[in-house]
């Protein structure tokens, strides 16, 4: 009996040690994600550097995945790989299929491998740690990034605040960017920080939480990111609406929202040219309209397959942008199309866009709104993140974008929903 007791203690110690290993690895993953824009290479260089990434960054993600696999014991039988939700597996499988017709399969493979590694690491870690601990790690990483950004603005303002630069938009001067190369990422990170700290399990907001929320929102305003600021407020309202209403009332509202979205798509399809006329000016939406016209033209010609995952922007001289843009256009060396939906359609076609929207947005939101497993506390955070990410992709490209913090949060939410649903079914059984 004493031997059995000692054996149980040793088993608990091993389990605790393995969980600690996974916990450290997941926190390292969160740090890697929030610092991704700093460690990426080739974001502003010419064609020679634009096709290469940072090998140390890529190696770091591989090592984190291996540590998580070892910590969870999945490397012994691989049954735990089912932690990756079916929604994510379907869209990743379609993206891997697109490698067959990709313009540059080698670049596409490297970029998609990174996307897959991050998603797999998130799924396995959340299944092992649980929802509460995983969210806690994310909150700490976001807080550290916010603190470092404030320190940069205060002590190194020439770095933390946009200064006059040759070839850069003068409207950026004075906007806070913190530790990041540009303000838009900082704005999105601040907005996610506000949402993650505002919607917590506790009923009342503590003093320290209010400090983080106010600090993040103040920094968000100082970035000058109007889109992120407006979407953060909309996401907060959406989270509150989710809290205030019974989940049984949501399927009808969801059906109405999907019908509205379908009608909007039909109107855009039939009257697209007329609606795009106001966007003809070069300064409209800080030049985004010029990029969108190029993307729309390419999608019109290649709507069925696209260029292949990761094979439109930043692949050197073979990029389709050189065939569709006027020679010498400033956005020929852009790294994204500033619209996640157009970017996905240009890479994996309209069928791929439909698959991505359904499995990454529509189906998860429908489950969130209608399933009793998601109470008002946890569900409010998930709903707020979905609303912010969906809206943010109208002016930025983050959906299926490797290790971008918003793509990371979409995968995190889907994996957490998968874990909560599995635990709910197990409890019911």
Q: Name the residue with higher pLDDT: 286 or 351.
A: 351
- Angle, vertex CA 191, rays to CA 388 and CA 367, nearest 5: 35
| pLDDT of amino acid 218 | 97
Whether residue 192 contacts residue 142, with contact meaning beta carbons closer than 8 Å, is answered with yes
Band of residue 204 on the pLDDT scale cut at 50, 70, 90: low
At 107-148, the pLDDT tens digits run 999 999 999 999 999 999 999 999 999 999 999 999 999 999
* Predicted local distance difference test score (pLDDT) of residue 368: 86
pLDDT class of 409 with cuts at 50, 70, 90: very high
Beta bridge partners of 161: 176
d(CA 318, CA 262): 35
Residue with tokens 């709104």: 369
Among 122, 32, 136, CA closest to 409: 122
Kindly state the percentage of the chain with pLDDT values over 70: 76
Average pLDDT over residues 389-418: 93
Q: Does the CA dihedral 175-339-113-49 come out positive or negative?
A: negative
**Tokens, residue 411:** 């995968």
How far is the C-alpha of 305 from the C-alpha of 45, rounded, in Å? 29
* Confidence band of 285 (pLDDT split at 50, 70, 90): very low
How high is the pLDDT of residue 112? 95
pTM attached to this predicted model: 0.87
Q: Hey, what long-range contacts does 128-133 have (CB within 8 A, 24 or more apart)?
A: 128/19, 128/22, 128/68, 128/71, 128/72, 129/19, 129/22, 129/23, 129/26, 130/419, 131/378, 131/416, 131/419, 131/420, 132/201, 133/23
- C-alpha to C-alpha distances, 95 to 59, 196, 393, nearest whole angstrom: 22, 30, 19
Q: What are phi and psi of 335, to 5 degrees?
A: -100, -5
Give the confidence band of 46 by pLDDT, cuts at 50, 70, 90. very low
Angle at 37 between CA 32 and CA 41, to 5 degrees: 105
Question: Cα dist. 47→196, 335, 389 in Å?
Answer: 38, 11, 30
Judged on CB neighbours under 10 Å (0-12, 13-18, 19+), 328 is exposed
CB-based burial label for 220 (10 Å; 0-12, 13-18, 19+): buried
Q: Is-contact 179 148, C-beta < 8 A?
A: yes
pLDDT above 90 for 284: no
Backbone angles phi, psi at 161, to 5 degrees: -125, 135
Q: Is the pLDDT of residue 201 over 80?
A: no
How many Å apart are CA 179 and CA 301, to the nearest integer?
Answer: 40
**DSSP state string for 272-341:** HHHHHGGGGSTTGGGGHHHHHHHHHHHHHHSTTT-S-TT-SSSSGGG-THHHHSPTT-GGGG-S--S-HH
pLDDT at 351 (0 to 100): 94
Q: Tell me what the mean pLDDT of segment 37-48 comes to.
A: 55
| 138 vs 270: CA distance, rounded Å | 43
Q: Is residue 242's pLDDT more than 90?
A: no
Q: Which pLDDT does position 41 carry in this prediction?
A: 55
Task: Name the band, by pLDDT with cuts 50, 70 and 90, for residue 293.
Answer: confident
pLDDT, tens digit (0-9, with 9 covering 90-100), for 50-98 = 445 678 888 999 999 999 998 887 655 565 567 899 999 999 999 999 9
In the block, tokens 């601040």 appear at 190
Please choose, from the candidates 50, 390, 294, the residue with its C-alpha nearest in 3D space to the C-alpha of residue 307. Answer: 294
């Amino acid at each position: 009996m004493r031997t059995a007791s000692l054996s149980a203690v040793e088993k608990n110690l091993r389990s605790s040690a393995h969980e600690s290993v996974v916990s450290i690895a997941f926190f390292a993953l969160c740090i890697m994600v929030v610092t991704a824009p700093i460690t990426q290479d080739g974001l502003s260089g010419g064609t020679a550097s634009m096709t290469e990434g940072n090998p140390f960054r890529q190696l770091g993600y591989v090592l984190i995945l291996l540590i998580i696999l070892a910590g969870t014991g999945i490397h012994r039988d691989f049954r735990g790989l089912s932690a990756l939700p079916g929604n994510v597996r379907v869209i990743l499988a379609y993206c891997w299929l697109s490698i067959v017709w990709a313009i540059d399969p080698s670049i596409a493979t490297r970029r998609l491998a990174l996307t897959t590694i991050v998603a797999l690491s998130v799924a396995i870690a959340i299944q092992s740690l649980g929802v509460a601990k995983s969210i806690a790690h994310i909150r700490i990483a976001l807080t550290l990034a916010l603190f470092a950004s404030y320190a940069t603005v205060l002590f190194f303002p020439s770095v933390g605040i946009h200064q006059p630069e040759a070839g850069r938009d003068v409207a950026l001067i004075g906007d806070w960017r913190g530790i990041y190369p540009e303000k838009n990422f900082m704005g999105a990170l601040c907005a996610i920080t506000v949402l993650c700290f505002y919607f917590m399990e506790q009923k009342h907001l503590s003093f320290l939480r209010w400090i983080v929320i106010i600090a993040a929102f103040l920094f968000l305003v100082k970035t000058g990111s109007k889109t992120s600021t407006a979407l953060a407020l909309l996401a907060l309202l959406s989270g509150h609406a989710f809290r205030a209403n019974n989940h049984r009332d949501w399927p009808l509202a969801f059906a109405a929202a999907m019908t509205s979205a379908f009608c909007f798509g039909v109107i855009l399809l039939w009257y697209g040219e007329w609606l795009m006329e106001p966007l003809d000016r070069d300064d409209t939406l800080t030049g985004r309209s010029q990029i969108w016209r190029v993307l729309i033209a390419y999608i019109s010609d290649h709507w069925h397959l696209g260029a292949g995952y990761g094979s439109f922007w930043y692949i050197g001289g073979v990029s389709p942008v050189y065939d569709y843009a006027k020679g010498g256009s400033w956005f020929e060396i852009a790294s994204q199309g500033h619209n996640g939906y157009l970017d996905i359609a240009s890479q994996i076609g309209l069928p791929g866009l439909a698959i991505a929207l359904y499995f990454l947005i529509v189906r998860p939101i429908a489950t969130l709104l209608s399933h009793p497993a998601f109470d008002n506390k946890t569900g409010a955070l998930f709903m707020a993140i979905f609303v912010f990410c969906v809206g943010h992709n109208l002016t930025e490209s983050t959906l299926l974008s490797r290790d971008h913090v918003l793509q990371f949060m979409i995968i995190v939410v889907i994996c957490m929903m998968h874990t909560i649903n599995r635990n709910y079914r197990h409890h019911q059984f």
